[in-house]
Amino acid sequence: MLRVERICCLRRQKVGARLSTIHIKGPARLSGEISIQGSKNAVLPMMAAAILHKGITVLTNVPMIQDVDCMVSILNYIGCRCNRKGSTVEIDGTEIECAQIPDHFVSQMRSSIIVLGALLGRVGEGESRYPGGCLIGARPIDIHLQVLECLGARILEEDGQITARASAGGLVGAEIRLRYPSVGATEQALLAGVLARGMTIVYGAAREPEIGQLCDCLNRMGARVRGAGTGILVIEGVEELRDSRFAVRGDRIVAGTYLSAVMAAGGKAWLKEVRPGELELPLNLMQQAGAVIRRDEVQEEIFISMNQRPGGLLLETGPYPAFPTDLQSPFMAFLAAGDGESRIREQVFEGRFATAEELKRMGGRIYTEGREAVIQGIYPLIAGRVTARDLRGGAALAVAALAAEGETVIEDCRHVERGYEDLCRDLRALGAQAYWG
C-alpha cells in the first residue's frame, strides 16, 4: 500500500464564515434579469475528482461561495495547489502529501466526505471524521462506507473517526447496489471507481443532473463512465487520467430560489445560464400555481411572469426527477404568501421543516406533523426578525420577506453564504430592496 506521510499538522488552515444578517423591505414587485451562478452541488465533487489526476484540472464558472472556499482549503491541505482567478479554479494534483481531512473542514461541510473516495483511488487510504453541515436531518453516511467496502476498502470507525484503506493492489471494481439513490454515495462510487482495477457497476444510482455533470467531467479527464441520467452507472477503471478543462453548468437550485422570489413578490424575470429541463417539475408546479413560464433550452434561459397570488399546490419531495428537497423551503415560503391551501410531504430530510417555525413568526399559517406540512396562504406576511436555520431555509426566508409588510431581518446568514454568491446582489438586480447588515 502506498503510504502518505503525515505532514498534515503543518497546514492548519481554517475557513471562517462571518456572522451576517440580511435586510429586505417588502412587499416588492420584481422585474429584471440575472445570470445564474455555477452549480454548488456539481462543482464540489468535480474539485474532489481533481485529486485523482497527477496533473492539472481546470474548472470554469465556479461559484464564489464558502463551500467552494472550504474545498479549496481541503485540497491545499492535502497537497494540491489551487489557483483561483475569478470564476476559474486551476487545481494541480501532482503531489498528494496528506490523506487526512482535518476536523475543522469536515465540521463545516458535509460533502467533504466524498474526498475519501478520491483519496482511496489515488493513494490507497484516507481519514476523516463524521461530517457536519446544515442540520436538516440525520443523513447517515453508512451507505458511503458500504460503497467503499464493496470496492475492497477496509473501514475502521472509532470515536467518530473514519479510517479507510485499500489492499496492496488498490481498489477493485465490483457490483454496487445502493439501497437508496443517494447523490453522495453515487459520487463516492464514481470517484473511487475511476482508478479501480476492472469494472464497477452501480445499481440504483442517483439520476440528478449534478451526477451527469460529474460523469461528463470525469470522462473529459479520461475516465470511462457510461449511464449518466439512468439508474445504472458503468465505470471501467483506467490507469491514469489527463489534464482537462470543464465548465460548470448553472445552479438549478439557485435558479429555483429566484423563481420562487418572483412567485412570492409578483412581477417578471429572465434567468440566464440555466437549463430549464433540469427544473421541469418545479416549473410545471409554478405554472399550476398561476405563473407564466417560457423555457428556452437552446439559449438556456427561463422567463417567469406572476401577476396574481400563488394558488395552492400538492407536492412531495424525492430523488430526481421528483421534486428536489432543496427547493421545498423556497416553495413553502411563496405558498405561505399565496391564496389557498397547500400540502407538502418531505420524503428526503426529516429536518427540512425547521424553516416553517420561522415562517410562522412572519404570520405564516403552517401546520406540520411528522413529514407533512399544511399551508394556508395569507398575504401580506408580517416583517420581523427571523433566523436562517439552514442554507435553503435562509434563502426561503428572503423569498418570504418579499411578500411581507415592512423590513425583515434574517439573522445567522452564514448558512446562506455557503451556497449563494450574493443573495442580496441578485435580488437587487430584480428590483428588490435587499442588503447585508
> Is 18 labelled as part of a ligand binding site?
no
Of 332, 403, 399, residue with least CA distance to 26 = 403
How many alpha carbons lie under 13 Å from residue 142 in its C-beta half-sphere? 4
> Is 110 labelled as part of a ligand binding site?
yes
> Is 348 labelled as part of a ligand binding site?
yes
- φ, ψ of residue 282 to 5 degrees: the values are -60, -40
| C-alpha–C-alpha distance, residues 64 and 40, integer Å | 9
| 215 included as an active-site residue | no
Residues 161, 129 contacting (CB under 8 angstroms) = yes
Annotated active-site residue in 8, 70, 80, 134: 134
| C-alpha–C-alpha distance, residues 196 and 134, integer Å | 32
Nine cell digits for residue 91: 487545481
3-class SS string, the chain: CCCCCCCHHHCCCCCCCCCCCEEEEECCCEEEEEECCECHHHHHHHHHHHHHCCCEEEEECCCCCHHHHHHHHHHHHHCCEEEEECCEEEEECCCCCCCECCHHHHCCCHHHHHHHHHHHHHHCEEEEECCCCCCCCCCCCHHHHHHHHHCCCEEEEECCEEEEECCCCCCECCEEECCCCCHHHHHHHHHHHCCCECEEEEECCCCCHHHHHHHHHHHHCCCEEECCCCCEEEEECCCCCCCEEEECCECHHHHHHHHHHHHHHCEEEEEECCCHHHHHHHHHHHHHCCCEEEEECCCCEEEEEECCCCECCEEEECCCCCECHHHHHHHHHHHHCCECEEEEECCCCCCCCHHHHHHHHCCCEEEEECCEEEEECCCCEECCEEECCCHHHHHHHHHHHCCEEEEEEEECCHHHHCCCCCHHHHHHHCCCEEEEC
| C-alpha–C-alpha distance, residues 334 and 132, integer Å | 29
Of 375, 361, 255, residue with least CA distance to 312 = 375
> Is 40 labelled as part of a ligand binding site?
yes
Binding residues for phosphoenolpyruvate: 40-41
Binding residues for UDP-N-acetyl-alpha-D-glucosamine: 110, 326, 348
Annotated active-site positions, please?
A: 134
